[in-house]
């Protein structure tokens, strides 16, 4: 079964393309979603993208991710990054890995954007690469899933292989 990934965009990301294009670029959210989904198809991953301006909705989606069968979440929490303890607690409380992504390099911007309350509980962070941040976030989840699969397989002893009968030997019977 192909891996399924959930991409969550937080507040104001629905305005992509029109919103401060000098910072966030000119692609719309729909175009970013198409890029991530195409990348997912190339990598054999099914990607579902959702956006909300509502903190509680993002929390509900995070809490439901495992139940819905997602193997990981790529999350751009938008401005919630900098202060939402509720979103931080949701990321910390779920079993699926979450990769935090940002279009812009938050460390090169206003000082109050330098802090992410999500970073410490996310599996990792990718930022500053525009829409490519999402593709790299997806790659990170694929790598994390691969590692998890390998360690599951290493813990499960393999069933012993059935022994094949030795092939019949051609040629002269040995004289003993
Ligand atoms: C953002 C960075 C946040 O500081 C900002 O509030 C956003 C977008 C980014 O993707 O660069 O809404 O998360």
120 CA distance to ligand 1 centroid (A)? 17
Q: Residues near ligand 1 with C-beta < 6 Å?
A: 12, 76, 78-79, 81, 102-104, 106, 113
CA distance 123 to 96: 9
Instruction: Please give the Cα distance from 101 to 45 (Å, whole number).
Output: 18
Residue 23 near residue 104 (C-beta atoms within 8 A): yes
Q: Residue 176 has what pLDDT?
A: 44
Q: What are phi and psi of 160, to 5 degrees?
A: -60, 140
Please say whether the beta carbons of 97 and 68 come within 8 A: no
What's the topology of domain 3-155?
Rossmann fold (3.40.50)
Q: What is the pLDDT of residue 166?
A: 65
Quickly state the pLDDT bin for 146 (edges 50, 70, 90). Answer: confident
Mean pLDDT along residues 108-127: 98
Pick the atom of ligand 1 nearest to 104's CA: 11
Which ligand 1 atom lies nearest to the CA of residue 24? 11
How far away, in angstroms, is 159 Cα from ligand 1 center? Answer: 49
Using the mean position of ligand 1's atoms as its centre, give its distance from the Cα of residue 102 in Å: 6
Q: Which residue has the higher pLDDT, 136 or 147?
A: 136
Of 79, 71, 74, the C-alpha closest to 101 is 74
Range 114-137 average pLDDT: 98
Could you tell me the pLDDT band of residue 160, with boundaries at 50, 70 and 90?
Answer: low
Q: What residues are annotated to the active site?
A: 24, 102
CA distance 11 to 176: 85
Whole-number Å distance between alpha carbons of 53 and 55: 7
């Amino acid at each position: 079964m192909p891996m399924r990934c959930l991409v969550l965009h937080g507040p104001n990301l629905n305005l992509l393309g029109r919103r401060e294009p000098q910072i966030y670029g000119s692609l719309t959210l729909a175009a970013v979603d198409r890029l991530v989904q195409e990348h997912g198809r190339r990598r054999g991953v099914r990607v579902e993208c959702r956006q909300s301006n509502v903190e509680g909705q993002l929390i509900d989606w995070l809490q439901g991710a495992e139940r819905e069968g997602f193997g990981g979440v790529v999350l751009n929490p938008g401005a919630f990054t900098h202060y939402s303890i509720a979103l931080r607690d949701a990321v910390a409380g779920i079993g699926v890995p979450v990769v935090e992504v940002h279009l812009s390099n938050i460390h090169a911007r206003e000082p109050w954007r330098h802090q992410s309350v999500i970073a410490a509980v996310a599996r990792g962070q990718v930022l500053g690469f525009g829409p490519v941040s999402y593709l790299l976030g997806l790659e990170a989840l694929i790598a994390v899933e691969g590692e998890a699969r390998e360690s599951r397989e290493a813990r499960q002893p393999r069933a012993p292989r059935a022994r094949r009968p030795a092939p019949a030997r051609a040629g002269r019977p040995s004289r003993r």
